[in-house]
Structure 1
Amino acid sequence: MATGRGRLLQRQWLGLQELRLPLGGFGAAPGSDGFRSGPGIEAGASSAPGEQHARPEGPRGSPCSDCPAWLDSMPSEVLLQILSYLDAAALLCVGCVNRRFYHLANDNFIWIRIYSSAFSLKRYNWRVDAVEETAESVNLLSVEDTEAGYWKKEYIIKQISSLKEALVPVLKPVNQYTGLPAKTKEALRMSGLGWVIILEEKSGKEYIMEHVDLYMNDSSVTIVWYGKNWPCLTTLSTLDLCGVTPVFRDWPKPPTKNAPRWRSLVARYSLSDIADSTAIGCDRLVRIFRLDPGLLVGLWKRKEELAFVMANLHVHHLVERSILGSAIVPYELLPQARLLDDSPGYGLHGYQLHVDMHSSGVFHLCSTFHNLFTNKGCIENGRVKLTVIHFQNSTEHLPLVGEVGLSWRTDIADGCVKSCSIMDVTVLDEYGKPFWCFSSPVCMRASPRPPDDPHFVGQTSCIDCTDTAGALHMELAWIKETEEHFVVSLVLFLGLAGVGR
């Protein structure tokens, strides 16, 4: 004969069997049966767009004969008792079933036990009396006086903080050439970090897409999404780029595929900004558009529908931006204190620039320039000007490797958009600290003025990239004899804000 606890566990098991329905509340529209499990939390991989799920029902909507009693019909007191035996991961998943289970799974008495068991200084075995004693030691606020979900939120924040603490020693070593973390790949692997895009329709309906490809180099990460089930572009309003991290990690084991994940907003884009002014190139199949910061959107030329999306993220604070934000608010970098220039009369000095031009793992340019300086008063349009490559000095000119082009692919076609690529810019100040870090798609455009040097008889072009912190202008000349582009001028502009003066 089963004991009281055995019967309760049996009921719990039958109830969980009944809950075997898609936990897709993460992407549900407001007012639907699906409900999010909390800010920034999703219950695992989302369902395919348009996929419908229904409960098995018998005649007149009643449960079928093969199904156990519905958990919905049980009193809340009984359900709370059942939920008290679940772990944190299961509770987060149950909270995505519907509104009622969301509120039940937020119960502070359940979560304070989980919190105190996981993070108290003194660890206890899983016994009700011992856990209650531990709960009292951490209950700084009365459970009744706190809002529902308070201790769930505290538990999740503590989990993310623990991950951050574990990543600090991994991200501390710095690459001596770029001034950036040298073990970013290891940090990504350790955290289980990935990226998703969330496409929101004007009606509020959301589509979540996991990234398909990822390319990483010393300065940036390029993330690609493509597929056959894109929603109609005309119905979409915004695109959110988010980092997703498993809330629970059991190192060194890899994270479970459908485990609850923390979502951190990296950037939000308005798809209404896609216009001819943002187009940077095309081939026979697609047109590509750049949305700042660092997003590339490919549209099929025939139907003007989404073909692929490509995000370019600089490595500087990449992990922090992809983990430590929330689902609706990006992570804000703390302002970096700048030391005063010890010789303000001589302008800036000792700066360093690292430039990468690449596409799908192929590098056209990879160069580092040391000891950059500028004289006092060399300011244009509110920015300090530093000349990196002088047009008059041919010994400084650099060739681009190979034919410049941005490769793309989907599950039905591939191609290459000529004269486009990805550019990573990393500027270090005189103390070797990152000053301006930028990654974005760029394109070569016809130069407004041809070089005056008679040796350059071919086509001339320029590349520009800019954001609020700085700008870079590059001029190139095409040499017919060698059939290659040469960088004949490179000028860097840095914003006055933050410059040590």
Structure 2
Amino acid sequence: MNRRVRDGLKALSSAPVQSKRRIPQDPRCYFNKLPDELIIKVFQYADIKTLIKLTYVCSKWRRLSEDDLLWQQRYLRYTSKVKAVKLKDSKLPYKVRLFKDCRKIRDDTAIRKTKLNPYTAVVANMDRFLWSFEVQFQICFTMKDKTERTFTNSYKKSFSSSTVVQWTTLEDFPKLSDVSTVALYARIPLMLSSKGKPIKGSPRQLSLLCIDKVNELTPLCEDKHIKAVVLPSGILVALWSGSEDIAFVCVSIHHHDLVKKILYSNADTIYTNPHIVVPDDIDTSYGLHGYKCHINLHTLGASLFEEKFSGMFCNEAQTPRVENVKDNIELNVSSISAPVSNKLEIAWKTDLFQGSLSHTVMLGVTLVDINNEVMWEISRPVKSNDKPLDDGVFCMDGFIKEFKYSDKVGEVSLVINVDGERANVQKVKILLNVENINNWFGTDY
């Protein structure tokens, strides 16, 4: 092989290999070069959830995906199958009209299907509402660097006055030391079919239920695997022992106004039903009688104790006017000796471990006034304390446990006698703050 041929082969082998496929030099999307009419035609095949996501791609896609013709087709499709709401301003874009009409239809359907318990004044069929409207609960951790991490509930169970929600995941929860706030949201579909069921692929409304600062937590209890702390709203955060790593999160949500909070709240504001004072100048003891109370003790999955009290009152002599006003008044509670499960503990389970928080339960209290309006609601974890014997408690060979909770409205306590495999609630005590009674009824005790 002569030198000229050898140099030619060497140059040929070192030359870059060119691909048969031509690589475009223009890095811009060729789809955007199509006429707007064709792009809108393609967008017509997207569902509403996808159409909303298209608005975040670029400014052109945002403009085209909000074309009124696209939303007019969907407005006629989804509102023609149900009774559409006539908006006063028909000049609104069809996108706005669609969401307003569908939300109003959904809210009216949900309120019509929910029934109130005449005794507790809260929704009686909450489990059916959560199931039929496919409600999800989401916990959101806002980190100190302003980023957010969200998780959807892995378990929920409804009781007579509250619903327990738990979050456990194989994904790592953030360290509690890196979290600034914890928020609880409900996610409910916005659009319903003609049969009143959520439409597949419907966008979901995000409703804020509560939000807490992490620096306001309170220690609760611990076992060999975890230690539990409670946030002001009642959210229980379980940390692995010896660390700030979160094992699981759970909360017991009271049913009072829960349906309205899910429907009428938004991502930033919690719905509140304002209380209207009903004055009464005839009955001088107005605000001191006619109470009803429902008390429920439960774990994450089972009810331990449930009792209802009616005709509760307070002697007016306990709250003399003008002078010597006491801070709290005590409602009379009929004597009780009701059986309760002796397993006064919250059993927990994650993907890898399980255990129980001894002498800790979820306490649910619903106090209804004489106007059948919920005056005080409690739904949160509480830990028992050793109770010394007094005149109202009898105990032989067992031991006495007291579950107590208090806030600005009042105080409630349950005294339980545990004797081997048997346990009985022996005493219930309910105190109400006088200032709160005056604000609620417009009185002056």
The range that moved more, 217-226 or 227-236, is 227-236
Find the counterpart in structure 2 of residue 499 from structure 1. Answer: 441
**Given the superposition, is the C-alpha separation of residues 59 and 286 from structure 1 closer, same or farther in structure 2, using an over 3 Å criterion?**
farther
SS at match of 2:402: strand
Compared CA separation, residues 262 and 478, structure 1 to 2 (3 A): same
Deviation at 1:264, TM superposition (A): 0.7
The answer to whether residue 132 in structure 2 is matched with residue 190 in structure 1 is yes
Per the TM alignment, residue 204 of structure 1 is displaced from its structure 2 partner at its CA by 2.5
Matched letter for residue 306 of structure 2: C
Q: Which residue of 2 aligns with 1:162?
A: 105
Deviations 1:429-461 (A, max 9, x none): 2233322222111111234x5425794365444
In structure 2, the gaps of 5 or more residues are 1-21, 320-324
> For each residue in 1:320-346, what CA deviation from the matched residue of structure 2 results, as whole angstroms up to 9, or x when unmatched?
112221111111223245353742247
Post-superposition Cα deviations, 1:234-260, rounded to whole Å, max 9, x if no partner, equal: 322222211111122225486466542
Alpha carbons of structure 1 residues 342 and 431: separation in structure 2 relative to 1, 3 Å = farther
The verdict on how the C-alpha distance between 1:284 and 1:200 changes in structure 2, with shifts beyond 3 A counting, is same
Query: Are 1:347 and 1:376, in contact at CA under 8 Å, matched by a contact in 2?
Result: no
1:286-327 per-position Cα deviation (integer Å, ceiling 9, x unaligned): 111111222111111133211111121111221111222111
Instruction: Give the alignment partner of residue 427 of structure 1, picking from 356, 363, 367.
Output: 367
Instruction: Provide closer, same or farther for how the CA distance between residues 257 and 451 of structure 1 changes in structure 2, counting only shifts above 3 A.
Output: farther
TM-score (norm. length: structure 2): 0.79
Partner secondary structure for residue 151 of structure 2? strand
Gaps of 5+ in 1: 1-57, 124-134, 144-149, 390-394
Counterpart contact for 2:49–2:201, Cα < 8 Å? no
Q: Which of residues 205, 224, 232 in structure 2 aligns to 1:284?
A: 224
CA distance in 1, matches of 2:73, 2:97: 12
Query: Do 1:170 and 1:186's aligned partners in 2 also have CA atoms closer than 8 Å?
Result: no
CA RMSD for the aligned pairs?
A: 3.6
Structure (1 or 2) with the larger CA radius of gyration: 2
In the TM superposition, 1:341-380 aligns within 5 A as: 342-345=282-285, 348-376=288-316, 378-379=318-319
1:39 aligns with none
1:427 maps to amino acid: L
Cα distance, 1:59–1:460 mapped onto 2, change above 3 Å: farther
In the alignment, is residue 269 of structure 1 matched against residue 208 of structure 2?
Answer: no
**Rounded Cα–Cα distance in structure 2 between residues aligned with 1:60 and 1:385:** 82
1:205 aligns with 2:147: yes
1: CA distance between counterparts of 2:440 and 2:124? Answer: 25
**Match for 1:266: what amino acid?**
L
Report the CA distance between 1:233 and its aligned residue: 2.8
Task: Give TM-score scaled by structure 1 length.
Answer: 0.71
Which residue matches 1:245?
Answer: 188
The separation in 2 between residues aligned to 1:297 and 1:241, in whole angstroms, is 13
Query: Alignment length, in residue pairs?
Result: 410
Q: Give 1:376-395 correspondences, 5 Å limit.
A: 376=316, 378-379=318-319, 382-388=327-333, 395=335
- Identity fraction in percent: 21
Quick one: which of 93, 99, 106 aligns to 2:53? 93
Q: Does 1:295 pair with 2:218?
A: no
Deviations 1:443-486, CA, capped at 9 Å, x for gaps: 11234x54257943654443222444x23331525454775354
Counterpart of 2:116 (choices 174, 182, 195) is 174
Counterpart CA distance in 1 for 2:180 and 2:169 is 19
Quickly say closer, same or farther: Cα 1:75–1:316, change in 2 above 3 A: same
Alignment of 1:445-456 (within 5 A): 445-447=385-387, 450-452=389-391, 455-456=394-395
Indicate if the aligned counterparts of 2:56 and 2:62 stay in contact, CA closer than 8 A. yes
Whole-Å separation in 2 of the counterparts to 1:455 and 1:121? 65
Contact 1:89 1:248 in 2 (8 A): no
- CA separation of 1:211 and 1:452: change in aligned 2, threshold 3 A: same
Q: In the alignment, what sits opposite 1:417?
A: 357
1:200 positional shift? 2.0
The aligned amino acid for 1:291 is: L
Deviation at 1:121, TM superposition (A): 12
Compared with structure 1, are the counterparts of its residues 86 and 170 closer, same or farther at alpha carbon in structure 2 (3 Å cutoff)?
same
The 5-angstrom pairing of residues 49-128 of structure 1 reads 70-72=30-32, 79-80=39-40, 82-83=42-43, 88-97=48-57, 101-102=61-62, 104-107=64-67, 110-111=70-71, 114-115=74-75, 119=79
SS at match of 1:303: coil
Aligned-partner SS, 1:388? coil
Indicate yes or no: 2:268 matched with 1:323.
no
2:412 to 473, 482, 490: 473
Residue among 205, 211, 219 paired with 2:161: 219
Q: Does the alignment pair 1:405 with 2:345?
A: yes
Alpha-carbon spacing, 1:369–1:94, altered in 2? closer, same or farther (3 Å): same
Deviations 1:166-219 (A, max 9, x none): 122212x33244332233233223322221112222223222211101111111
Match of 2:5 in 1: none
Whether the 8 Å contact between 1:425 and 1:439 is mirrored in structure 2 is yes
Distance 1:402 1:341 in 2: 47
Task: Note the C-alpha offset of 1:402.
Answer: 1.9
Residues 415, 427 of structure 2: 8 Å contact kept: yes
Per the alignment, do residues 174 and 319 of structure 1 end up closer, same or farther by CA in structure 2, a change over 3 Å counting? Answer: closer
Residue matched to 2:17: none
Secondary structure, aligned partner of 1:185:
helix
Counterpart-to-counterpart distance in 2, 1:370 and 1:189: 31
Name the aligned partner's letter for residue 161 of structure 2.
S
Aligned residues of 2:298 and 2:304 also touching (Cα < 8 A): yes
Residues 405 and 412 in structure 2, CA contact (< 8 A), matched pair in contact too: yes
Q: Judge conservation of contact 1:120–1:138 (CA < 8 Å) in 2.
A: no
Q: Compared with structure 1, are the counterparts of its residues 204 and 357 closer, same or farther at alpha carbon in structure 2 (3 Å cutoff)?
A: same
Distance 1:489 1:320, change over 3 A: closer
Could you tell me which residue of structure 1 aligns to residue 423 of structure 2? Answer: 484
Secondary structure at 2:332 match in 1? strand
- Alpha-carbon distance, 1:140 to partner: 4.4
CA distance in 2, matches of 1:114, 1:461: 60
SS of the residue corresponding to residue 160 of structure 1 reads: helix
C-alpha contact (below 8 Å) 2:230/2:236 kept by paired residues: yes
Are the aligned partners of 2:336 and 2:425 in contact in 1 as well (CA < 8 Å)? no
Note if contact 2:366-2:378 (Cα within 8 Å) is conserved in structure 1.
yes
Give, in whole Å, the separation in 1 of the partners of 2:76 and 2:327. 54
